[in-house]
Amino acid sequence: MAFSDLLIDKNLDIAVIQNRLNVAGLALTALFFSGSFSIALHALNNRGGADFRVEFAQVEGPLVLGVLFGIAAICGLLLCQQLSRPSHHWFTSSRWWFAVSNIWLYFTLSQAMSAGLSEMISGISLFHPVVSQSMAVLATPLWWLLLFIAPIHLLMRARDVFNAAEARMLAVVYTVSVLIILALNAEVFLVRGAESFTWSGFLYNFALQIVQPMTWPHPWQPML
């Protein structure tokens, strides 16, 4: 069944929603595990200098963002089970909440990847730079898939069955959400690099988020 067919109200069944809920739950579990593991690792290696949590900023930021988007996705999926269908308003449309929850789930997975792999690839770079750089190159298309390609493809498929208000608000929510991810991660780059805020520095780090995996082997010293 095509994804656009799922967005027709009569075809949106509980099994499909439950499948997405399972994925969201798994992503949240991975996020919390990644956070606990990284905090413990940094605490063990903390030698009494600067607060180790600042060193952990590149994991903390994506971790919190991933958890927030994961919870938002779960709430949206639960809500779309309660709404009647069809609906004349986008905010009471079960198919709209199903679509936006899928977008938030993509973002959850992107932040789980960032929180989980950034520290590992950075660690590998200490003893084998070529391997770490190769892994970063392999991770970059997946980063694009989760943040841009898959959500935009969903927007295009939804446009075929959504009314104008639903399609417009779905595009607005996607745009705002992805800008939040890029902007907050850019700010984390400034904090982690002990840089003073400047618009030029912020915009540079904002643009850098498009290829964030390329910065993981040597954080804030991208191989570009």
CA distance 80 to 132: 42
Written in H, E and C, the secondary structure of 75-109 is: HHHHHHHHCCCCCCCHHHCHHHHHHHHHHHHHHHH
Of 78, 65, 67, nearest to 21 (Cα)? Answer: 78
Evaluate if residue 98 carries a pLDDT over 80: yes
- Binned at pLDDT 50, 70 and 90, residue 220 comes out as very low
- The 10 Å CB-count burial string (b at 16+, else e) for 144-177 is eebbeebbeebbebbbebbeeebbebbeebbeeb
pLDDT band at 44 (very low <50, low <70, confident <90, very high): low
Of the two residues 63 and 169, the one the predictor is more confident about is 169
Q: What is the pTM of this model?
A: 0.84
User: Which carries the bigger pLDDT value, residue 182 or residue 37?
Assistant: 182
For residue 22, what are the CA distances in angstroms to 52, 80, 105? 34, 15, 11
- Write the burial class of residue 143 (CB in 10 Å: 0-12 exposed, 13-18 middle, 19+ buried): buried
Q: Which residues contact 3 (CB under 8 A, 6 or more apart)?
A: 154, 157
pLDDT of residue 1: 46
- 31 within 8 A of 70, measured Cβ to Cβ: yes
